[in-house]
C-alpha cells in the first residue's frame, strides 16, 4: 500500500485512478479501434494520477478494472438483460459519466469475452481489493455488499468473510 497518503485518501485516490484509467482506455479504444481491455495497460503512461502509486498497485488496479468489465460483459452475454440489473441497486446512485463509460466498456468487453474468460477464470473478489461498482455476495454467509463508486472491498460486515463473488444469474 502507498505509504505517502493516509489510508482514506489513498482509497479515494485509487478510486479516482480507476475512473481515469477506464476513461483513457475508452478514448484510446475509440481512436485505434482496439478493444478496451487491450487499451487499459497502454493507458497507464498517460495518466499522471497513477504516478503516485507503485508499479504493483497500478498492475492491481488494471486487474481490478479488467475483472469488473469481464464480470459485467459475462452478465450481458448470459442474460441479455440491461446492465443496471447486474448492479442490483439504483443506477441513479452512480455518477452518470462514470456509468456511461463503464457501460460502454462492458459492451466492448463482451466482444473480447472469450479472451478475457481465459485470463479471469476465477473472478473471485477478496477483501482489500478494489472494486468498481456493483453488488458482490459473501461466499461464506451470502451477505450482499453494494458499491456505488470505486473503493476497497471490506471484510463481510455480517460474518467477517473475505471472499466474495458476483451474484450468479
pLDDT 10s digits, 94-136? 888 888 888 888 877 776 665 555 555 456 899 999 998 889 9
pLDDT at 147 over 90: yes
pLDDT at 164 over 90: yes
**Could you tell me the CA-to-CA distances from 39 to 53, 126, 151 in Å, in that order?**
19, 25, 22
Q: What is the pLDDT of residues 24-44, one digit of tens each?
A: 888 877 776 666 767 787 777
Instruction: Check if the beta carbon of residue 43 is closer than 8 Å to that of residue 24.
Output: yes
Where is 74: in which H helix or E strand?
Answer: helix 55-79
pLDDT at 154 over 90: yes
Percent of residues, the chain, with pLDDT higher than 70: 82
Q: What is the pLDDT of residues 41-77, one digit of tens each?
A: 777 777 766 777 888 888 888 889 888 888 888 888 8
**Could you tell me the CA-to-CA distances from 30 to 33, 39, 112, 118, 119 in Å, in that order?**
5, 10, 15, 25, 23
User: Can you give the pLDDT at residue 5?
Assistant: 46
pTM to 2 decimals? 0.68
SS3 content of the chain, % helix, strand, coil (to 5): 55, 10, 30
Round to whole Å and give the CA distance between 70 and 123: 9
pLDDT at 6 over 60: no
Place of cell 456511461: 100
Give domain limits for the chain. 7-122
DSSP conformational letter for 148: S
Q: Which band of pLDDT confidence, cut at 50, 70 and 90, is reported for residue 7?
A: low
Task: Say which residue, 110 or 163, is predicted with more confidence.
Answer: 163
Query: 166: which strand partners?
Result: 136
**Could you tell me the CA-to-CA distances from 132 to 3, 4, 68 in Å, in that order?**
22, 23, 7
Q: What mean pLDDT is predicted for residues 5-9?
A: 59
User: Can you give the pLDDT at residue 88?
Assistant: 81
Amino acid at each position: 500500500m502507498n505509504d505517502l497518503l493516509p489510508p482514506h485518501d489513498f482509497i479515494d485516490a485509487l478510486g479516482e485512478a480507476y475512473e481515469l484509467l477506464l476513461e483513457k482506455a475508452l478514448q484510446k479504444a475509440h481512436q485505434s479501434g482496439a478493444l478496451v481491455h487491450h487499451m487499459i495497460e497502454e493507458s497507464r503512461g498517460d495518466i499522471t494520477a497513477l504516478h503516485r502509486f507503485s508499479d504493483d498497485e497500478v498492475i492491481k488496479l488494471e486487474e481490478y478494472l479488467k475483472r469488473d468489465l469481464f464480470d459485467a460483459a459475462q452478465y450481458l452475454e448470459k442474460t441479455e438483460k440491461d446492465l443496471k440489473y447486474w448492479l442490483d441497486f439504483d443506477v441513479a446512485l452512480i455518477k452518470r459519466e462514470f456509468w456511461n463509460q463503464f457501460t460502454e466498456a462492458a459492451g466492448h468487453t463482451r466482444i473480447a469475452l472469450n479472451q478475457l474468460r481465459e485470463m479471469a477464470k476465477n473472478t473471485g473478489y477478496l477483501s482489500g481489493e478494489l472494486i468498481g461498482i456493483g453488488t458482490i455476495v459473501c461466499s461464506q454467509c451470502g451477505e450482499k455488499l453494494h458499491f456505488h463508486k470505486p473503493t476497497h472491498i471490506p471484510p463481510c460486515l455480517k460474518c467477517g468473510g473475505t471472499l466474495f463473488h458476483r451474484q450468479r444469474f
